[in-house]
Structure 1
Amino acid sequence: MEFAVILLSLALLVSVEGAGEKSVASKLKLCKADDPNLDECFRDAVETAFRNLKDGDRSLGIVPIDPMFVPEMTMTRSEGPVGMTLKFINCTHSGLSNMKVISAKVSPDRLSFDLKMKLNLFTLSGPYETNGRILVLPIVGEGIANITMYDSDIAWTFQGKHVKRDGKTYLQIEKYIVDIKPKSAYMNLGNLFNGDAVLGETTNRFLNENSREVIQELAPELNAALAELHKGLAQRILDRLPMEEAFA
C-alpha cells in the first residue's frame, strides 16, 4: 500500500491554483505504510519537497514556497513586557526551501505527523503596521519591515481525521501546531513614529539588542499565526485529495 505522506508535507507549505488531484502526486515521493523505515522515508520525502517545490510548478497549480507570498499575517501580544500588534500585509516568507529535517514520526493509523527541523535563515519582510509598547516604551509605525531569524529549531505537529464527502474519504485537519525557536534574530521596522529618524533608530537598536527576548515574547503569537497560515494552505490541498488516491 502506497502511503502519500509527502502530500501532507506538501500541504503544509503550498497553495493550489486549480490543479487536479492526481497531477499533484506526480511531483512527489511516496512511502509505503508498511515500510519498516517509514519515519526515515517520511523525513527524506519532506526535505525533498521543500527543495523541489521552491519555485512551485504552474503546470500543477503549485505556487512558489520560497519566497512564499502571504496576503496578511497578524500577531497580537497583550501580556508581558511586549504588548503590541504587528500586522504584515502582502509580505513574503523566505528560506523554507533550505529546511533541514532532523527527525520525523508518522503514524498512519492515527493520521499523526511530527517533524523536528532546523532552518539557518528565515525572513518575514514586507509592508507592516504596528501599535503598542515594549516594556514601558510606546511603539507605533507603518512602513516596510524585516524580521530575520537565525539557526531556528522548528517543530511541526499535524493530526487529522477522515470525513466522507460525495462517496469519498478526505482528511480534515483537527490539530496543527508550529513551534519555532530561533537562536538569534534581526529586526528592522521602517518608518517608526511617522518617520522620526532618531526615535526610529533608537527603537530598532533596542529591538536588535534584545531581539532574542522580543522574539521569545512574540513566539506564541508568531507560532499561532504560522500554524493558522499553514493549516489553511494544507486544508485547501487535502480538500482536493481523496484518501482513495493518497492510499493506492
Structure 2
Amino acid sequence: MCVKKLKEVTVWLKQCRRKDPKLNECIRDTFQNMFPWLAKGIPEIGTQQLEPMHIEKVAITKGQGGVTLQGAFNNLIVHGPSNTTALYTRMDLRRGKLDIGLFIPIIKVEAKYDLKGNILLLPLVGIGDAKLYLKNVTTHVQTRIHFPKIKDEEVMVASSMKVEFSLAIMRIHLSNLFNGNAVLGRTVNTFLNENSKEVVNELKENIGESLSGVFKKIMNDAFSHIPTKLWLIDD
C-alpha cells in the first residue's frame, strides 16, 4: 500500500518553531487552521472527509452507580465537528505530551442503539434508532506523542489518548423502547432529557474511552503523513 506523505508546505498547514516561546499558541493555530480542511478531506495526505463523521461503535458497559447499562450505539453519523474551535494546546516535547482543549457549539448524532439496563432506577430496554443533540461541548484531550521516522521522514504519532468532556445541553430520542410501547417509551425519553446531565456524568468514562479511539485515529491519519520538518521546525 502506498502511504502518502506531504511534500511541501501548503495553505492548510501553519508552521511553528520548536523553540518559539509562544509554541503553544502556534500549535493551537495549526490545529485550528486544519479543521475546515479535514472536514472536506485532504487528498495530499489521504485523509477522508470528516464531516459528517462516521463512528462504528460507542460501547456502553456500566454495571454500578446511578446508571447501569449494557449495549452500544452503532453506525453513528455525527454532524458538527468541523465547527470545532481549538481553545488551547500545551506541547511538552521533552516529555512527549500534547494537551488540547476543543469547543464544539453543536453536535447532532444519528445512530442505531441496543441498550438494556437502568437509568437512575428507571428501566431502559430497546433496540432502534437514536437521535442526539449536544450543545456547547468542551473537550479536554491528553495525548502521549512520539516522533518516529517513517520512510526516513520524522512524523508525529499519538501513542495514547485520554478524553474528558462536558456539555451544556443534551437532547435525546430513542425509538422503539420496550418493543414499541409508546407510553413507556415516552416516559423514558422524557426522563432522559430531564436528567441528561446526570446521565452523561454517569457515562463519561465509557464515552471518553470511545472518543479517545476516534480522536487518536483522526490525529494519526493526518500527522503521520506530515513530516515534522514542514510544520514543527528546528531552529
The bucket for the TM-score relative to the shorter chain is 0.7 to 0.9
Q: 1:180 aligns with which of 165, 183, 200?
A: 165
- The answer to whether structure 1 residue 214 and structure 2 residue 214 are counterparts is no
What residue ranges of structure 2 are gaps of 5+ in the alignment? none
Aligned partner of 1:4 in structure 2 is none
User: Do the aligned partners of residues 138 and 23 (structure 1) sit closer, same or farther apart at CA in structure 2, a change above 3 Å counting?
Assistant: farther
What residue ranges of structure 1 are gaps of 5+ in the alignment? 1-16
- The answer to whether structure 1 residue 196 and structure 2 residue 171 are counterparts is no
* Other structure's SS at 2:51 match: coil
Aligned partner of 1:38 in structure 2 is 23
User: Do the aligned partners of residues 73 and 195 (structure 1) sit closer, same or farther apart at CA in structure 2, a change above 3 Å counting?
Assistant: same
Aligned partner of 1:152 in structure 2 is 137
- The answer to whether structure 1 residue 91 and structure 2 residue 82 are counterparts is no
User: Do the aligned partners of residues 218 and 142 (structure 1) sit closer, same or farther apart at CA in structure 2, a change above 3 Å counting?
Assistant: same
TM-score by length of 1: 0.81
What is the RMSD computed on CA atoms of the aligned residues?
2.6
* Other structure's SS at 2:40 match: coil
The answer (yes or no) to whether the contact 2:45–2:226 under 8 Å persists in 1 is no
Stretch deviating more after TM superposition (207-216 or 22-31) = 22-31
- The answer to whether structure 1 residue 22 and structure 2 residue 3 are counterparts is no
- The answer to whether structure 1 residue 54 and structure 2 residue 39 are counterparts is yes
- The Cα of 1:59 is off from its aligned counterpart by 5.8
Q: 2:128 aligns with which of 143, 165, 187?
A: 143
TM-score by length of 2: 0.85
The answer (yes or no) to whether the contact 1:101–1:118 under 8 Å persists in 2 is yes
* Other structure's SS at 1:49 match: helix
The answer (yes or no) to whether the contact 1:18–1:61 under 8 Å persists in 2 is no
Question: Aligned partners of 1:152, 1:247: CA distance in 2, in Å?
Answer: 29
- The Cα of 1:217 is off from its aligned counterpart by 0.8
* Other structure's SS at 2:208 match: helix
Aligned partner of 2:212 in structure 1 is 227
The count of corresponding residues between Structure 1 and Structure 2 is 232
- The Cα of 1:205 is off from its aligned counterpart by 0.3
Aligned amino acid, residue 140 of structure 1: V
Aligned partner of 1:73 in structure 2 is 58
Question: Aligned partners of 1:232, 1:99: CA distance in 2, in Å?
Answer: 17
Q: Percent identity?
A: 27
